[in-house]
Amino acid sequence: MAAARVEYITPWWVYWLHNIPHLELSLRARSSEFNPTDPGYRESLLFWALVIAVCAFLNLLLVVIYLLCFCCCKKEEDTETKKTGSCCVTWTATVSGLLCCAAIGIGFYGNSETNDGVYQLTYSLDDANHTLAGIDTLVSGTSYKLKESLEQHLLRLNEIFAEHGDYVQTLRFMQIMANNVVAQLSTLPNWQMTSSNLSLIARQASVIEYYRWLSYLFLFIFDLVICLLTCLGLAKRSKCLLVTMLSFGLMTILLSWASLALDTSSAVGTSDFCVAPDKFIMNMTQDHISTEVVHYYLYCSQSLKNPFQQTLNIFQKSLTTMQIQIQGLLQFAVPMFPTAQKDLQGIQLLLNTSESNLHQLTALLDCRGLHKV
């Protein structure tokens, strides 16, 4: 019994990100439909990156104001107040450092999970690419054999059976059947362009993800080292170490806000795609593949008719008819024309290979091959 296909369910937070206002840099609202080729849509993603940049500026401004106020107020405090304030700052910094370490641990986990998710995506793209390339290979190979290899056998057999009209008529009928099969195979979609696009997307996603994962790994390690050295500086009351860590801490804040800006834009764009991936895919493939075929592969429902079924049925019936004709010639013509046996057996082998290709092609064209659970 075939396993039921798992339906894609969009998470709530994807809808939330998809529904946030999409504004161009001119503050004009635009559609949240995923369309990376549209400059206006790219501006709407850049808008949220700029919002994060403004937040980063305000954050740094508050830190600078706090440090200035802290330094100015410190000169006017008496000794006892200094000790109390120093103790409070120490404990606050220690707790903040521990919380940062916990957050960094979550960051390591999230970075690893994201890497696993992208790996599964690239694996699925490569698998789909392998399936589509396999379809093209089978179609081209079968067409070549039925057009070129079969024709060579039939030409020699025509010479052998030249004086026997019935056998020549059978050979002509087989040629017509073979041409019919080739014509039907030519109606199947050419997946070369789609396969190339999938391969390119998989390679680009793999390279980008590698550098993203490595960058975040170094960032989290850098943050962790700063937190630990800051705690060490507080424990030893080392002003030099604390001032150094403060400088690195400001740089970390900048890097963290920059990564947040990039992540926010990426998350909004990805959410727009995940809410309605079928619409984007159909728009991208409409020039290469018919809407019926794309719809069949996207939804893969039992209620949908296989758009290739008629072609496959004609292929099967034609092969069966040709095999019956060859069996008849082997049985009745070979005793009269022994030299025809080699070519007839060659055609029989060719038809058997074509039938094997037909079974493989039927399995590869089935949409369930691209919806593996």
Per residue in 238-265, pLDDT tens?
778 777 877 888 888 888 899 989 989 9
- How far is it, in rounded angstroms, from Cα 178 to Cα 348? 13
- How far is it, in rounded angstroms, from Cα 335 to Cα 184? 35
> What residues have CB less than 8 Å from 325, skipping those under 6 apart?
170, 173, 174
Please give the structure tokens belonging to residue 120: 């599964």
Between the two ends of the chain, the Cα-to-Cα distance in Å is 14
- How far is it, in rounded angstroms, from Cα 277 to Cα 220? 32
- How far is it, in rounded angstroms, from Cα 22 to Cα 4? 37
Is the model's pLDDT at 271 over the cut of 60? yes
Least reliable range by pLDDT among 2-11, 124-133, 304-313, 338-347: 2-11
pLDDT score for 169: 92
- How far is it, in rounded angstroms, from Cα 237 to Cα 246? 14
Read off the DSSP letter of residue 105: H
Does residue 352 sit in helix, strand or coil? Answer: helix
pLDDT score for 83: 52
- How far is it, in rounded angstroms, from Cα 223 to Cα 219? 6
pLDDT score for 207: 93
Is the model's pLDDT at 189 over the cut of 80? yes
Is the model's pLDDT at 63 over the cut of 90? no
Is the model's pLDDT at 170 over the cut of 60? yes
| Model confidence, pTM | 0.77
Q: Say how many CA atoms lie within 13 Å of 364 toward its Cβ.
A: 22
- How far is it, in rounded angstroms, from Cα 49 to Cα 261? 4
Q: Exposure string (b/e) for 296-323, b if CB count within 10 Å is 16 or more?
A: bbbeeeeeeeebbeebbebbeebbeebb
Q: For residues 204-232, give the mean pLDDT.
A: 88
- How far is it, in rounded angstroms, from Cα 39 to Cα 20? 19
Q: For residues 143-153, give the mean pLDDT.
A: 89
Least reliable range by pLDDT among 238-247, 312-321, 333-342: 238-247
User: Crossing angle for the helix pair 309-332 and 341-365, nearest 10 degrees?
Assistant: 160
Band (pLDDT 50/70/90 cuts) for residue 1 is: very low
pLDDT score for 191: 83
pLDDT, tens digit, for every residue of 288-315? 788 888 888 888 877 888 899 999 999 9
296, 367 Cβ separation under 8 angstroms? yes
213, 122 Cβ separation under 8 angstroms? no
pLDDT score for 359: 93
- How far is it, in rounded angstroms, from Cα 9 to Cα 112? 23
Residue type at position 261: A
Q: Say how many CA atoms lie within 13 Å of 300 toward its Cβ.
A: 16
Least reliable range by pLDDT among 50-59, 81-90, 113-122, 159-168: 81-90
Q: For residues 143-163, give the mean pLDDT.
A: 88
- How far is it, in rounded angstroms, from Cα 146 to Cα 132? 21
Query: Where do the structural domains in the chain lie, given as residue ranges?
Result: 10-64+206-276, 119-191+305-373
Percent of the chain at pLDDT above 90?
24
pLDDT score for 248: 84
Does residue 29 sit in helix, strand or coil? Answer: strand
pLDDT score for 90: 67
- How far is it, in rounded angstroms, from Cα 52 to Cα 54? 5
Place of tokens 């401004």: 61
pLDDT, tens digit, for every residue of 64-82? 887 777 677 655 555 445 5
Task: Give the residue, 84 or 349, on which the prediction is more confident.
Answer: 349
Does residue 23 sit in helix, strand or coil? Answer: strand
Task: Give the residue, 345 or 197, on which the prediction is more confident.
Answer: 345
Does residue 36 sit in helix, strand or coil? Answer: coil
Does residue 84 sit in helix, strand or coil? Answer: helix
Which residues are paired to 29 by β-bridges?
A: 23
The secondary structure of 45-64 as a DSSP string is HHHHHHHHHHHHHHHHHHHH
